[in-house]
């Protein structure tokens, strides 16, 4: 573990109509919204990848629209987490990885796997899924090469520029995960347990299970809507700084987008932990 980690702070998604003319200046064209985000934060979470397979050209565009030191976490597809419910997901995972994720190159951050609230702890299911997850980009490329015919030739990106470690984070939403066995299992596989602030909606689990931390802030007290007060931001800044000081890279994404608070909160938190070079 490094002597000092990095804080990566941003928003979960950035294409929100309500941000236009508010956080985004009036007249800013949609194709430049990520560029604008990247001028105020040092990371973002791609969430369009949750709803459908994006294209390699889309990921390549994200890479070119952001500065060299910017990092993009990628939310895993709901077909894997919510439809397949992690079971028999070999082909689906290969398709997801082949769809262009690797086109992010050095800007590829952790892959986030968000489970549905109806999916209870199932150790056999989890172990089988974790065994599929690639630990490096080279392994991801090898798995991506096993994609099926659902992806046309123009929808596939398999090349890896440099072999890098690949991180995974798990966000759980069923109370059956609130046990020591969850922590033990994730530690065994090096998967980070997401600390999710979701006002009494889903479990609030703060456990160190990997070499990095992953924090998602969904709004408080109104889920996906409320902004965070100065005192609340101070609270989260203290946590982030403690993790970073302990040598853990820390990824923080605000998901309280409904009233447009997410980007303002991200900027405010980043300022508290030392700015874009944190």
For the chain, domain boundaries: 7-277
Contact 73, 113 (CB under 8 A): no
Please state, in angstroms and rounded to a whole number, the distance separating the CA atoms of residues 107 and 72: 6
Closest by Cα among 175, 171, 145 to 159: 145
Instruction: Identify the pLDDT of residue 210.
Output: 98
Query: What is the dihedral angle through the alpha carbons of 207, 210, 216, 220, rounded to the nearest 10 degrees?
Result: 10
Digits of tens for pLDDT over the chain (278 positions)? 446 799 999 999 999 999 999 999 999 999 999 999 999 999 999 999 999 999 999 999 999 999 999 999 999 999 999 999 999 999 999 999 999 999 999 999 999 999 999 999 999 999 999 999 999 999 999 999 999 998 888 899 999 999 999 999 999 999 999 999 999 999 999 999 999 998 878 889 999 999 999 999 999 888 888 899 999 999 999 999 999 999 999 999 999 998 899 999 999 999 999 865 56
Instruction: Identify the pLDDT of residue 220.
Output: 84
Q: Hey, how many other C-beta atoms are within 10 angstroms of the C-beta on 42? A: 21
SS3 state at 275: helix
Contact 110, 168 (CB under 8 A): yes
Instruction: Identify the pLDDT of residue 29.
Output: 96
Contact 109, 192 (CB under 8 A): no
CATH number of 7-277: 3.20.20.410
Q: Which helix (H) or strand (E) holds 233?
A: helix 230-245
Please state, in angstroms and rounded to a whole number, the distance separating the CA atoms of residues 224 and 273: 23
Instruction: Identify the pLDDT of residue 275.
Output: 67
Instruction: Identify the pLDDT of residue 3.
Output: 63
Instruction: Identify the pLDDT of residue 268.
Output: 97
Instruction: Identify the pLDDT of residue 213.
Output: 98
């Amino acid at each position: 573990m490094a002597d000092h980690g990095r804080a990566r702070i941003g928003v979960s998604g950035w294409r929100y109509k309500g941000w236009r003319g508010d956080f985004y200046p009036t007249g800013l064209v949609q194709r430049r919204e990520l560029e604008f985000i990247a001028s105020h934060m040092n990371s973002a979470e791609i969430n369009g990848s949750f709803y459908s397979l994006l294209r390699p050209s889309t990921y390549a565009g994200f890479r070119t629209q952001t500065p060299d030191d910017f990092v993009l976490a990628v939310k895993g597809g709901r077909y894997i987490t919510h439809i397949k419910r992690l079971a028999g997901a070999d082909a689906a995972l290969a398709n997801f990885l082949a769809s262009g994720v690797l086109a992010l190159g050095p800007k590829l951050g952790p892959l986030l796997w968000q489970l549905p609230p109806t999916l209870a702890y199932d150790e056999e299911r989890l172990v089988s899924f974790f065994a599929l997850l690639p630990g490096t980009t080279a392994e991801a490329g090898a798995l991506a090469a096993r994609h099926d015919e659902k992806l046309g030739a123009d929808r596939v990106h398999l090349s890896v520029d440099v072999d890098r470690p690949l991180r995974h984070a798990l966000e759980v939403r069923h109370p059956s995960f609130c046990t020591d066995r969850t922590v033990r299992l994730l530690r065994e596989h090096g998967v980070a347990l997401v600390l999710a602030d979701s006002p009494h909606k889903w479990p609030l689990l703060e456990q160190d299970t990997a070499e990095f931390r992953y924090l998602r802030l969904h709004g408080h007290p109104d889920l996906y809507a409320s902004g965070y007060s100065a005192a609340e931001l101070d609270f989260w800044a203290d946590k982030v700084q403690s993790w970073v000081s302990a040598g853990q890279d820390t990824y923080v994404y605000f998901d309280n987008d409904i009233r447009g608070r997410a980007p303002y909160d991200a900027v405010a938190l980043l300022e508290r932990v030392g700015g874009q070079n944190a």
